[in-house]
Each structure stands twice: as C-alpha cells, then as structure tokens.
Amino acid sequence: MTDLYSRRGKLTVTKELLVDGDIKFIKALFGNFYPIHAEWDDTYGFGRDVIYYGFSEHFDVLEDGLMAAEYTAEVTQLESGDYSIRFIK
C-alpha cells in the first residue's frame, strides 16, 4: 500500500450530518477519513457546512504537485445500525 500522504483529499460535511448524525455515523466517517484542517463553508451566506482536508486509504493516489481531489461520502446504514461509507470523487 502507498503512504497515506499521497492519498489526500477534500471532503465537505453538511451541518445537518454533524448535528443530526449519531455517534456511530461520526465514528464511521472519521474512522475512514483523517482530517488535518477544517474550515467553515459560508458560500451562500448561511449554514455552516464544514470543509475538511485530510487523508484516507480510500482516496486515489495523487502525484506530487497535484491539488487534492474533492470527494463526497456515500453513507449507507446497515441492518445492524452501523454505517458503511464509500468515498466518491
């Protein structure tokens, strides 16, 4: 496996997911994505989505000099109540 540094990306998490998501969701998300920087997204002047920059073994490998890709998280709640998360570029 390649080093984690070469698997960096950007992930926006909505305020609703952070406020309404249960602890199992938060554990599943941040158990698969390791943020190193966060900033508020006020693009439309309201809401407080959070843009995270970080690393994940699920991200594509980046060559040196390339900008980090933006990913979305596809979240599925399993019958057990746990969550499955897939990152899509």
Mean pLDDT for back-to-back runs of 10 residues, the chain (89 residues): 85 84 88 94 73 95 89 91 91
Distance (Å, whole) CA 13 – CA 17: 7
Q: Which amino acid is at 57?
A: E
SS3 26: helix
Q: Minimal CA–CA distance to 59: which of 18, 4, 12?
A: 4
What is the pTM for the complete model shown?
Answer: 0.82
- Which pLDDT belongs to residue 17? 82
Give start and end residues of each alpha helix (H) in the chain: 15-20, 23-30
Catalogue the E-assigned strands of the chain: 8-13, 34-41, 49-55, 69-77, 83-88
